[in-house]
Amino acid sequence: MGPASGWSHPDPPSNSLNWFASTLVVVTENRDIAEILRRAADGGRISPEEALLLYTDAPFHGLGEAADAARRRRHPENIVTYLIDRNINYTNVCVTACKFCAFYRAPKHEEGWSHDTDEILRRCGEAVELGATQVMLQGGHHPDYGVEYYEELFRAVKGAFPDLVIHSLGASEIEHMAKVSGTSIEDAVDRIKAAGLDSIAGAGAEMLPKRPRTAIAPLKESGERWLEIMEVAHQRGLESTATMMMGTGETNAERIEHMRMIRDVQDRTGGFRSFIPWTYQPENNHLKGRTQATNLEYLRLLAVARLFFHNVNHLQSSWLTTGKDVGQLSLHMGVDDLGSIMLEENVISSAGAKHQSNLLGLIRMIRSADRIPAQRNTLYEHLTVHWTPEDDPTEADAERVVSHYSSIALPSGGRAHPELKLIDAG
């Protein structure tokens, strides 16, 4: 990765992208890289080969400046969004046994569990009380859970909380439920959408290229199949996000290939609202941290993603897996969304992700990066824009809205609202 020695520049004009082109020559002497950066910053399409060259060789500062210029072109209001939601896991029983997963338990394992509908609705109610606009219902590939299970679950949630957005599942769960019920992907998608599913999460993408996917998730559907299911969902009116887990031994070229596969589907459907890369967590799983991506690799990947995905509107970074410092730095690498104050998260935290924030902490993280914080909904519509600190919630209102990990492991089993205060927001 090329150095950016001796690089300095004046602050860019707040309303001009031309500044980027005039200062790029300072940060790189490679004319090919400079031309690619200029074209991508201007909204042009770059090839996978060009993206790989940027990822491996572009000076860090020049790469960041180009990505930030692309962000400002797409989001000139300088707003960075966040979401309040809760990840609710209905079961940890799974037949897929991915090597990176610390959450799942095999069928009949003594530590396997499933929540009943009443418990899931109780957790939804807590989320709504704390200001959540969305829930992500996710779980393992339970051998008994077909389309009928999800229809009943989604109808129950919508019946109790009609305004709560269900952004849930992923292509892998849809593949599994269709097999259990002996039906087509098209039928499964139509039925769960009719039952109340509003949006599909990018879960299960991990790494889409064949070699790394087979190495870490040999029982999961292929990357091509994952994308086929997403394409079916997009065609039937269900948009989604797209994700990538980096740091399990994949090559730089395979990281770019993963993005290429997503972009090709986006060319056809336009159904991916955002791209969300995150880093593999090494605790309590079979990979045991033999690989892992560095923070620098992650930040470079974010910048390249903003330049490569000319057809995806939003780029979200994962402060949950990289920490708040890297999350804040990501806002200078093309990112326009910091994701969620997760009122509950059990899957990634089971593998070691223990970064937390309360609501004011996340707002201040955004503002101190010289961005304007705004709460959004699932569709990235702004619900509350914090134009000035006077627009922020009070300490009293915000102290209860705290991200929490692995609440299922707490002594109370997550059955009372005071349990949400057991973990220091830090």
The per-residue pLDDT for range 231-272, each reduced to its tens digit, is 999 999 999 999 999 998 899 999 999 999 999 999 999 999
With 90 as the cut, is the pLDDT of residue 344 above it?
no
| DSSP category for residue 179 | H
Identify the residue whose tokens are 């491996």: 56
Compute the average pLDDT of residues 283-297.
65
Q: Which helix (H) or strand (E) holds 277?
A: strand 272-279
- Domain ranges in the chain are 18-74, 85-355
In percent, the amount of the chain with pLDDT more than 70 equals 80
pLDDT at 318: 83
Report the alpha-carbon distance of residue 352 to residue 350 in Å, rounded: 6
Identify the residue whose tokens are 């692309």: 70
For residue 242, list its beta bridge partners: 275
In three-state secondary structure terms, 115 is: coil
Query: Which tokens hold the place of 85?
Result: 């939601």
Report the alpha-carbon distance of residue 374 to residue 382 in Å, rounded: 6
Confidence of residue 293 (pLDDT cuts 50, 70, 90): confident
411 vs 59 pLDDT, higher one: 59
With 70 as the cut, is the pLDDT of residue 410 above it?
no
Phi, psi of 86 (to 5 degrees): -140, 130
Confidence of residue 312 (pLDDT cuts 50, 70, 90): very high
**How many other C-beta atoms lie within 10 A of the C-beta of residue 380?**
17
Mean model confidence pLDDT for the chain: 84
CATH C-level class of 85-355: alpha beta
Confidence of residue 15 (pLDDT cuts 50, 70, 90): very low
Compute the average pLDDT of residues 315-322.
86
pLDDT at 361: 85
For 65-128, give the DSSP string.
HHHHHHHHHH-TT-EEEEEEEEEEESB-B-SS--TT-SS-B-TT-TT--B--HHHHHHHHHHHH
Q: Give the amino acid at 76.
A: P
Query: Which tokens hold the place of 110?
Result: 């003594």
Question: How many helices and strands, by DSSP H and E, does the chain display?
Answer: 17, 10
* pLDDT tens digits for range 323-341: 888 989 999 999 999 988 8
pLDDT at 396: 74
Report the alpha-carbon distance of residue 237 to residue 234 in Å, rounded: 5
- The pTM assigned to this predicted structure is 0.85
* pLDDT tens digits for range 173-224: 999 999 999 999 999 999 999 999 999 999 999 999 999 999 989 999 999 9
With 60 as the cut, is the pLDDT of residue 373 above it?
yes
CA atoms within 13 A on the CB side of 206: 28
Q: What is the rounded end-to-end Cα distance, in angstroms, of the chain?
A: 34
Report the alpha-carbon distance of residue 382 to residue 364 in Å, rounded: 17
Contact 356, 426 (CB under 8 A): yes
pLDDT at 98: 76
| Burial of residue 368, with CB atoms counted within 10 A of its CB: 0-12 exposed, 13-18 middle, 19 or more buried | exposed
Beta strands 165-170 and 199-203 are parallel
Report the alpha-carbon distance of residue 206 to residue 156 in Å, rounded: 30
Confidence of residue 18 (pLDDT cuts 50, 70, 90): low
pLDDT at 341: 81
Query: Which tokens hold the place of 94?
Result: 């799974």
Report the alpha-carbon distance of residue 23 to residue 62 in Å, rounded: 9
pLDDT at 93: 92
